[in-house]
Each structure stands twice: as C-alpha cells, then as structure tokens.
C-alpha cells in the first residue's frame, strides 16, 4: 500500500462548495461522485442548503457528525484558508483543491498558496492542487473532479500537470475505447507532485502503464529516485513540454553552452528509465502498446506486407529507430518459399503480394512469429481489390493468442475499406494505425523499456578514498574572499589535483623572475598563460606562449603577454602569468560539468580542443545516480572514443585513466554544490595515463 491509497479510497468525502445549481462546479462534483458508483459517504457542504442531489447537506465541515476523511474544495480562493483550517482541526487527511486563483495568478496568489500549504503541513493533511480538475480512479471507484464524465475502466494511469489535457484526453478516450485506472490533475503541485503519483501508481495493482504530461518537475533528485524505482516495475512514459531552466543560465563554459535547455530533462529521463514521448499521439500510442502487448524480448522486427513500398518505408523506419530487421532461420525461409507464390519476397520484409488473401497473411505471420529470431511483428495491409481486411484482422487476432509473448502491430493503410478490419484489430488489442511509423515508434519504446526493466534500481555513488576536501575548501574560501566567482588556472589545477585528477603542474608568477624560478623547478619547456578570471579565451588576446625552453624566452614571454593583454583589454584585472609544464600531446578530449537548477550536476565528455562547440561531439549524464558503466557508455557514444581506441594505427589511449578523471570530476561536483561549472579542456589522454591541461572552475 502506498501513502496515497487513502486519497483514492477515502471512507467519506466532504464536497465544500457543493451547489444545487446545475452547471456549477460544486454541483458537477457531487453528481460525479454519485454517478461513478463511489461507495463511501458523500457529504455536501454549503451553509445555505439542507439537501443537494438527494444527499443531506451540512453548513460546514465541523457540523458533520463523523468527520470526513477527504474534502474537495470548490469555493473561491479567498475562503480556502479559513476552510482548510477547519478541515485540519477536524482531522481530515486529504484536500483536493479545485479552486483557481493561487500561484498561477502572481505574487498575491503565491502567498495565498504558501499559507494554504502551511495549514496542510500543520495538520498533516496531504493536498492535491490547488487549481486542478481533481482525481478519478475507475477501480476504487471515485470521481472527485469536475470532468464531464468518468473514464472507461482500464490499466493506464494518466497524471497531468494540465487540467485541460485531462478533460480532452478523457473525452477522446471514449471515442477510441481506451480505458484508464486513474486520472490525476496535478494543478499547481503545492504539496503532492508528479513523483508522489508516479510512486503511488507504481504500487497500484490495477495500473499497468504510467503516463504523465508535465511542464516541469518539482524536485529533481526526488523525481529521479522515484522514477528509477517505478520504471523497474512498470513503464513510465512522459511527455514533457517547455524547456528547462538550465538554458536560461548564461553559460560561461563550453560544457554549459553545449548542454542546452532541454538536456537535463532528456538525461534525467534516460538515466531513470523513463520513456520520453515526443508528442501527444506518441504518448498514447505507447500507452496502448504497453497496455495491450507483451514487452518484446529484443529488437528484431519482422514485417509482413502485401505491397513493396510500405515494406521499404517500414524497413527505413526500423533502422531509424535503432531496431533491427529480423533475419529469418533457414526453416522459416524454406516454409515461406514453399507456401508463397514464387514472386513473393520471402526475406524480411515478407511481401505476400498484392493479390494476397487472408490465408497468405496468416501463413506468413504464423511462420515468422514462430521464428526464434523474431521478437515482434508488424503487418501492413494495403487495400487491393482482392484483399480481405476483416479475415486478415481475424487471423491476426488468432495469432496474437497463439504467440502471447510476441508483440504484434498493424497498419491498415487506407480508409473506409479497411475500417472494419481496423476495428476488429483494436477490439483484439492489436494496436492498429493508418501508417507503419507509429507502430515502429511504439515497438522502439517497448524495446527501450525491455532494457530498462533489467537495470538495477539502486545505484551506488562513486567513491574514492584519496580525496583532499580541505584544500578545495580552503581554495574556495580564498576565491570568495577575493570577491571572485572564477578560479585562476593555478587554483583550479590545485582543486582538481586535490581530487586525484592528474593536472599539468601550474604555478602563478607575479613577475618575470618568479616565472623563471618556477620554470627551473618544473623543468623546461614551459607554457605561459595570462592569469585573469575575466579572460576566458586567452589565446585571442595574445595571452599564451608555448614551448618556452630558456630563461630568456620566459622573461621576454612574460613581458610580451602583459603588453598584449594591456593593449587588448586595458581595464581588465590581471593577477600575473601562470607557468605550466609543457606536456606532450595526447588525444584531446573535454571533460566538464554544468549544474542544472532542477537536477544538479551534469557531467560532460567529448572531443576536446578549440573546436568543441563546432564539433558538438559530447555526451552527458547526470551525476545523480551515475555509475561506472554509465561513464563507460558516455565515452563509447562519442566519436572521441574512436580516437581513444587508436585511429589509423595509432596506439590506443588509456581509457581507464579518462574514466577515472570523469568519476572524480563527478564526485567533486557532488561534494561542492557551490561549483557552477567545470571545464577541463583539453585533457590529453596518453597511451598510459592522462593529464588535465586547461581547467576552468566557476563557483556561485
Ligand atoms: N462552505 C461551503 N460552501 C460555501 C461556503 C463555505 N464556507 N461559502 C460559500 N459556499 C458556497 C456558495 O454559496 C456556493 O453555493 P451556491 O451555488 O449554492 O451559491 C458554492 O459554495 C460555490 O461558491 P461560489 O461563490 O458560488 O463560487 P463559484 O462556484 O462561482 O466558484 C470555484 C468557485 C472554485 C469554482 C472558482 O472559484 C474557481 O476557482 N473556478 C476555476 C476552477 C478551475 O478552473 N480550476 C482549475 C482547473 S485546471
């Protein structure tokens, strides 16, 4: 049982603001509660009435002889605080606040909402809303909403941040005969959020698929935790609109600029196992697929068609969606060859030809479904004169029962002539579309879920024994004392070194003599770089000199850099010149971190150097829940990986050393929430080991 079982199964519900007037929200809610078959007590509350819809009406909640367990509020916002207070005193457990006029209206509304939440917290009441349509559960049953009707019973829970979406989907669902277990309108999410309802639906035995429409999440880390656990139990499919706040942050690093606006959500969904729908049709196609079909065992798809063109379209789409065209066994090919006309294509896609009647579709589909190399099948029917759509649909329905473990989809590619066949397929729970693409998108979503289901729900944080927190704290203290948010290169190198990341030794020199002394100690040749927190692109202002192999060159290099910078940027504060040991070249990569407001640190890995923004060969993962195998796949999904493995006869680089740096950067970001961005670009990866050359760290 989840925390919210009582919200969907209260013993009694007070409807505050219940009304006799037809068409008023307070009247619709009373009727909805009666009509849905709710079997607890319905308690209308209205000071001016003694009876509403045949039920006794109470003047206020505290006048109800036996206190209600839940209240639905449908009174104007100004009255809500006072009423909530009475509900709290009466010991109610749940409030569903339909009323609008809270944070969505501005500052005053926000304050009202804050006070309402305060009252709920004081009395330990959980609240849905405010500013919501309410909730429905077809199995409880309960309809504590002002929706125009009640869903058909089914196994899909729909959680929506938009109330209008709830109303539209409900209406549409009658037309297509789609059933739901729950409908939840989240409203302003002052207390209960998407995460609470995802967690609840994941425990609900009447729910097979969880669907969400959200515009944002309330608490990123909590959402990740809940979604990770829920998606191991059942599919969680989310349509997220709008863009994340990360994009609004001015990004001063390469990593920040590359991350873009929606990336944190994309990564969060991917890492937690949420299937992301790109649009409304996709959201519901996936819901229908998961509700009616088994999850495929793998990604190998068979296509049966009576026409070449659609077969090619489907094949292209299968490849686009990272699925595979199944390769049939010899026996399958032999059977198809023996039964089908000689002109048929007996390899995948199987073309049973334009003159195929239902028997050919039946034989071909039965044969490929029996093939151990086929995980799912799509049947494409085009309406030729001899086509038998109804009989073909019936044959498919029969084969669905014969092969209950293999998902089956159809595209009835036409209009009126195929309508009856399409209806039979839908009734037989075979998702049927007009074109192949949505069928294949659905299979692709299901295949990605089959991988997610088997991943561990709990992840162990990356831990390292040799971390020097003290040095990092002291460095940040000094930087803040100096009223800076950007670390100097030498400070940044010190920070990452404290986390066991091999950095090219870098020391700050205030004058040419100091620079020479440092170089004597570090060993020649060295690189000189201007040290200024305001200068991000040092080369552009003549602030870098490489390969200096004598004391003279260092002295003159120091002076030249100072002259250049003063000429280009006369008013910028300069701290001196950094002397860095000149490192041998390796494979140039970037390792970085940018912090998302909602989900926390995002780790980045990719091809480094000056063209990072142009090449955009970068992969990202959230540090929250990051595992070593995720870091491995981050590396593997970039082109930089090809270089690291040794391109065109070059020796392979030390990928393990790169992996360790990434893990340590992730740890550093997790340990110090004040770090906004880290850019290590380039890191040189060698045949043995790796070295961080240029390190930028900004703090908040
Ligand atoms: N306790 C109980 N009932 C009370 C009351 C109290 N303290 N004070 C007033 N009422 C009664 C009213 O007398 C009225 O009953 P009546 O129809 O018999 O006169 C009823 O409660 C409703 O109050 P009323 O002032 O008529 O409000 P309303 O029905 O016009 O509007 C809301 C109330 C909640 C519907 C409205 O404020 C609102 O928020 N509408 C938007 C809802 C919405 O869109 N939500 C988000 C969806 S996404």
Residue 244 has pLDDT above 80, yes or no: no
Q: Going by CA atoms, what residue is nearest to atom 16 of ligand 1?
A: 19
Does the CB atom of residue 99 touch ligand 1 within 6 A? Answer: yes
Q: What is the tens place of the pLDDT at every residue in 480-532?
A: 999 999 999 999 999 999 999 999 999 999 999 999 999 999 999 999 999 99
Contact (CB, 8 A) for 92 and 70: yes
The fold of 5-207 is Rossmann fold (3.40.50)
Residue 246 has pLDDT above 50, yes or no: no
Does the CB atom of residue 132 touch ligand 1 within 6 A? Answer: yes
- Mean predicted lDDT score pLDDT of the chain: 93
Task: Assign residue 575 a region (left: φ > 0; alpha: ψ between -120 and 50; beta: otherwise).
Answer: alpha
Q: How confident is residue 257, by pLDDT bands cut at 50, 70 and 90?
A: low
Atom of ligand 1 nearest to the CA of 131: 46
pLDDT at 251: 43
* Token reading at 673: 């929430």
Q: Going by CA atoms, what residue is nearest to atom 18 of ligand 1?
A: 19
Residue 248 has pLDDT above 60, yes or no: no
Q: What is the tens place of the pLDDT at every residue in 86-100?
A: 999 999 999 999 999
- In the chain, pLDDT over 70 holds for what percent of residues? 97
Does the CB atom of residue 415 touch ligand 1 within 6 A? Answer: no
Residue 171 has pLDDT above 60, yes or no: yes
Q: Where in the chain is the domain with CATH 3.40.50.261?
A: 296-452
State CA 307 to chain mean position distance.
Answer: 38
Strand-pair category, 142-145 with 134-137: antiparallel
Q: Going by CA atoms, what residue is nearest to atom 43 of ligand 1?
A: 100
| List of E strands, 434-521 | 506-509
Measuring CA to CA, how many Å separate 263 from each of 75, 280, 595? 40, 20, 11
Under CATH, which number does the domain 296-452 receive? 3.40.50.261
- What is the residue-wise DSSP string for 653-690? P-HHHHHHHHHHHHHHHHH-TTEEEEEEEEEEE-SS-E
Window from 110-124, 259-273, 371-385 with minimum mean pLDDT: 259-273
Atom of ligand 1 nearest to the CA of 101: 39
Q: Going by CA atoms, what residue is nearest to atom 21 of ligand 1?
A: 17
Atom of ligand 1 nearest to the CA of 146: 47
Atom of ligand 1 nearest to the CA of 162: 48
Between the CA of 83 and the centroid of ligand 1 the distance, in Å, is: 12
What's the CA gap between 553 and 4, in Å, rounded?
73
Q: Is 0.85 surpassed by the pTM of this model?
A: yes
Task: Return the residue matching tokens 């640190």.
Answer: 601
Q: How confident is residue 191, by pLDDT bands cut at 50, 70 and 90?
A: very high
User: How many CA atoms does the CB half-sphere of 593 hold within 13 Å?
Assistant: 31
Residue 189 has pLDDT above 60, yes or no: yes
Q: Where in the chain is the domain with CATH 3.30.470.20?
A: 587-699
Beta bridge partners of 432: 410
pLDDT at 611: 77
Query: Mean pLDDT, to the nearest integer, of 60-68?
Result: 94
pLDDT at 1: 44
Does the CB atom of residue 17 touch ligand 1 within 6 A? Answer: yes
Atom of ligand 1 nearest to the CA of 133: 47
Q: In sequence order, which residues have a C-beta less than 8 Å from that of residue 54 and are 6 or more positions away?
A: none
pLDDT at 260: 53
If you classify domain 505-582 with CATH, what class do you get? alpha beta
Under CATH, which number does the domain 587-699 receive? 3.30.470.20
What's the CA gap between 32 and 149, in Å, rounded?
7
Between the CA of 62 and the centroid of ligand 1 the distance, in Å, is: 18
pLDDT at 243: 55
* Token reading at 413: 């590619």
Task: Assign residue 128 a region (left: φ > 0; alpha: ψ between -120 and 50; beta: otherwise).
Answer: beta
Between the CA of 120 and the centroid of ligand 1 the distance, in Å, is: 20
Window from 70-74, 182-186, 241-245, 470-474 with minimum mean pLDDT: 241-245
- Best CA proximity match to 595, nearest among 263, 332, 296, 290: 263
Atom of ligand 1 nearest to the CA of 79: 7
DSSP three-state, residue 436? helix
Strand-pair category, 236-240 with 275-277: parallel
What's the CA gap between 349 and 9, in Å, rounded?
50
Between the CA of 700 and the centroid of ligand 1 the distance, in Å, is: 46
Does the CB atom of residue 64 touch ligand 1 within 6 A? Answer: no
Query: Mean pLDDT, to the nearest integer, of 434-452?
Result: 94
Does the CB atom of residue 86 touch ligand 1 within 6 A? Answer: no
Does the CB atom of residue 74 touch ligand 1 within 6 A? Answer: yes
What's the CA gap between 148 and 206, in Å, rounded?
23
- Best CA proximity match to 616, nearest among 263, 319, 274, 275: 263
Does the CB atom of residue 106 touch ligand 1 within 6 A? Answer: no
Q: How confident is residue 259, by pLDDT bands cut at 50, 70 and 90?
A: low
Q: What is the tens place of the pLDDT at every residue in 16-42?
A: 999 999 999 999 999 999 999 999 999
Q: What is the tens place of the pLDDT at every residue in 304-321?
A: 999 999 999 999 999 999
Atom of ligand 1 nearest to the CA of 83: 7
Window from 32-36, 278-282, 664-668 with minimum mean pLDDT: 278-282
Max CA-CA distance within the chain?
A: 100
Q: Where in the chain is the domain with CATH 3.40.50.720?
A: 5-207
What's the CA gap between 431 and 208, in Å, rounded?
16
Q: Where in the chain is the domain with CATH 3.30.1490.20?
A: 505-582
């Amino acid at each position: 049982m989840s925390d919210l079982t009582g919200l969907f199964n209260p013993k009694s519900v007070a409807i505050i603001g219940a009304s006799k007037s037809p068409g008023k929200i307070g009247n619709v809610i009373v009727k909805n509660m009666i009509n849905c078959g709710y079997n607890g007590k319905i308690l209308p509350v209205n000071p001016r009435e003694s009876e509403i819809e045949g039920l006794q009406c109470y003047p206020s909640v505290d006048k109800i002889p036996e206190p209600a367990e839940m209240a639905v509020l449908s009174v104007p916002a100004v009255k809500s605080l006072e009423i909530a207070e009475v509900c709290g005193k009466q010991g109610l457990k749940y409030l569903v606040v339909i009323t609008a006029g809270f944070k969505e209206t501005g500052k005053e509304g926000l304050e009202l909402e804050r006070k309402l939440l305060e009252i709920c917290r004081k009395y330990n009441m959980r609240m849905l809303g405010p500013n919501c349509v309410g909730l429905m559960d077809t199995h409880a049953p309960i309809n504590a909403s002002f929706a125009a009707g009640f869903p058909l019973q089914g196994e899909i829970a729909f959680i929506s941040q938009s109330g209008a979406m709830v109303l539209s989907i409900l209406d549409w669902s009658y037309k297509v005969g789609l059933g739901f277990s729950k409908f939840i309108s989240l409203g302003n999410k002052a207390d209960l959020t998407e995460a609470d309802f995802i967690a609840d639906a994941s425990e609900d035995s009447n729910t097979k698929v969880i669907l969400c429409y959200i515009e944002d999440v309330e608490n990123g880390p909590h959402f990740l935790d809940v979604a990770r656990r829920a998606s191991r139990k059942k599919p969680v499919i989310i349509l997220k609109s709008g863009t994340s706040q990360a994009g609004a942050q001015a990004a001063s690093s390469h990593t920040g600029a590359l991350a873009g606006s929606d990336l944190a959500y994309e990564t969060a969904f991917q890492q937690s196992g949420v299937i992301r729908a790109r649009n409304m049709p996709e959201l519901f196609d996936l819901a229908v697929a998961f509700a009616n079909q088994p999850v495929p065992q793998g990604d190998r798809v068979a296509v049966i068609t009576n026409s070449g063109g659609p077969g090619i379209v489907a094949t292209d789409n299968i490849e686009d969606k990272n699925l595979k065209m199944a390769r049939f066994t010899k026996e399958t090919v032999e059977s198809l060859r023996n039964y089908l006309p000689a002109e048929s294509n007996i390899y995948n896609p199987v073309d049973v030809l334009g003159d195929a009647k239902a028997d050919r579709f039946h034989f071909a589909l039965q044969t490929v479904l029996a093939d151990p190399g086929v995980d799912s099948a799509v049947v494409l029917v085009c309406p030729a004169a001899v086509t038998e759509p109804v009989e073909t649909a019936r044959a498919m329905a029969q084969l669905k029962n014969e092969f209950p473990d293999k998902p089956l989809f159809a595209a009835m590619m036409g209009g009126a002539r195929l309508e009856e066949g399409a209806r039979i397929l839908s009734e037989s729970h075979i998702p049927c579309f007009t074109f192949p693409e949505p069928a294949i998108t659905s299979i692709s979503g299901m295949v990605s879920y089959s991988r997610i289901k088997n991943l561990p729900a709990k992840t162990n944080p990356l831990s390292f024994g040799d971390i020097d927190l003290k040095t990092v704290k002291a460095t940040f203290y000094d930087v803040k004392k100096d009223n800076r948010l950007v670390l100097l290169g030498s400070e940044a190198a010190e920070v990452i070194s404290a986390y066991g990341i091999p950095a090219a030794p870098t020391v700050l020199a205030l004058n040419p003599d100091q620079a020479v002394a440092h170089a004597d100690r570090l060993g020649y040749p060295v690189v000189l770089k201007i040290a200024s927190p305001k200068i991000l692109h040092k080369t552009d202002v003549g602030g870098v000199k490489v390969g200096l192999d004598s004391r003279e060159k260092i002295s003159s290099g120091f002076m030249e850099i100072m002259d250049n910078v003063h000429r280009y940027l006369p008013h910028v504060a300069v701290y001196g010149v950094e002397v860095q040991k000149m490192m041998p070249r390796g494979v140039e990569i970037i390792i970085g971190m940018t912090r998302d407001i909602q989900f926390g640190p995002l780790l980045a890995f990719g091809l480094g150097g000056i063209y990072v923004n142009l090449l955009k060969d970068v992969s990202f993962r959230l540090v929250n829940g990051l595992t070593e195998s995720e870091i491995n796949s981050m590396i593997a999904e970039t082109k930089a990986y090809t270089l690291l493995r040794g391109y065109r006869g070059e020796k392979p680089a030390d990928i393990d050393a790169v992996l360790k740096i990434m893990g340590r950067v992730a740890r550093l970001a997790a340990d110090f929430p004040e770090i906004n961005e880290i850019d290590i670009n380039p890191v040189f990866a060698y045949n043995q080991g790796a070295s961080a050359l240029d390190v930028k760290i900004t703090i908040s």
